[in-house]
Amino acid sequence: MEALALERKQEQNRELRVRLEQLKKERNAIILAHYYQRDEIQEVADFRGDSFLLAQKAAETEADVIVFCGVHFMGESAKILAPNKTVLIPDERAGCPMADMVNVDGLRKLKAQHPNAKVVTYINSSAEIKAETDICCTSANAVKVIESLDAEEIIWVPDKNLGQYVQDQTGKKMIIWEGYCNTHDMLTVKDVMEMKAKYPEAEFVVHPECRPEVVAMGDYVGSTTSILEYCRKSDRRQFIVGTEDGTGYQLRLDSPDKEFHFATKFLVCPNMKVNNLKKLVKCLETMKPQIYVPPAVADKARTSLERMLQVR
């Protein structure tokens, strides 16, 4: 019975992929997928990437329609950078708990308390927060963004773990908001120690959204993209991976001869996983749900995103 169900699922996916290609041509659409998406989404994407790469692709594309397979703030960023494009998201319930941990009123109060501080906002945030921001960043360029600022004080929102890592790397005085990624923050020292005991030859690669004590255990610390690059180029054959399990698709694709063991089975973002191939096809058929950002908010937020893209 299981074999029959799998065969049916595979046939359904083949039909969905054919329909998807038709719709992409009809709509002049491009599909952007974050590395944390389901394998079936990453397989059909025009571009797979982290938040930084996908923001670049959204800003540069000549397509009329952008389907952003990620979470809501990513779709907002695409719409802000490409205001004349139609931006779709397969399931509008794909939110981000960390983005919800910071609010405009709280940020404005903090800005009033530190009037000379520059505000740096992790891209994992709402358009409204980006509109209150001097410059955005991703985990891929956070250190460079902070180092680019001529400011004695920096207000950092919303991820305290990444903020602590960046502060340690740069030595800058940072006022750090108390938000965090629910998924990455689950990983504990105990989890990593158990995996290191089980796979003593493996290197531990970890995302800086994890807790500081976990990050301190890393043989390599970096953004999703830099972890992928490091594992691809490394001579080592085994890795313990401390980031969301969707990255396994690209890791295995890049290095089929290497072993990747996720540091805990709980490194799964449920919000990223609500999108699937069926919903992707449906959103192009119906042209819903569309991402909308009020023009006044988008205009302010665009400045902070464009500044981010200029940092090299």
Question: pLDDT > 70: what percent of the chain?
Answer: 100
**What pLDDT digit, counting tens, does each position of 100-121 carry?**
999 999 999 999 999 999 999 9
Residues 234, 302, single domain; the answer is no
Owner of token pair 């009033």: 112
What's the rounded mean pLDDT across residues 6-19? 87
Q: Tell me: do 151 and 165 sit in the same domain.
A: yes
Q: Judge if 247 and 303 occupy the same domain.
A: no
Q: Domain containing 201 — which CATH number?
A: 3.40.50.10800
pLDDT category of residue 1 using cuts at 50, 70 and 90: low
306 and 157 within one domain? yes
Band of residue 239 on the pLDDT scale cut at 50, 70, 90: very high
Q: Residues annotated in the binding site for [4Fe-4S] cluster, as ranges?
A: 96, 181, 269
158-214 pLDDT, tens per residue?
Answer: 999 999 999 999 999 999 999 999 999 999 999 999 999 999 999 999 999 999 999
**What per-residue confidence (pLDDT) applies to 18?**
96
- Residues 115 and 154 grouped into a single domain: yes
- Residue-wise pLDDT for 70-96, tens only, equals 999 999 999 999 999 999 999 999 999
91 and 104 in a common domain: no
Measured torsion, CA atoms of residues 16, 22, 26, 31, in degrees rounded to the nearest 10: 60
Q: Which residues does the annotation place in the binding site?
A: 34, 51, 96, 122-124, 139, 181, 207-209, 224, 269
Q: 104 lies in a domain?
A: yes
Please indicate, yes or no, whether residues 18 and 83 belong to a single structural domain of this protein: yes
pLDDT at 12: 86
How many domains is the chain partitioned into structurally? 3
In this prediction the pTM is 0.94
- Domain check: are 194 and 122 in the same one? no
pLDDT, position 9: 80
- Whether 160 and 305 share a structural domain: yes
| Residue 267 domain-assigned (yes or no) | no
Mean pLDDT, rounded, for 212-221: 98
- The domain of 228 spans 184-262
The answer as to whether 152 is a domain residue is yes
Residue 73 lies in a domain: yes
- pLDDT tens for 266-283 read 999 999 999 999 999 999
Same domain, 77 and 7: yes
Mean pLDDT of the chain: 96
Let me know whether 251 and 226 are in one domain.
yes
- Tell me the binding residues for iminosuccinate: 34, 51, 122-124, 139, 207-209, 224
In this structure, are 194 and 257 located in the same domain? yes
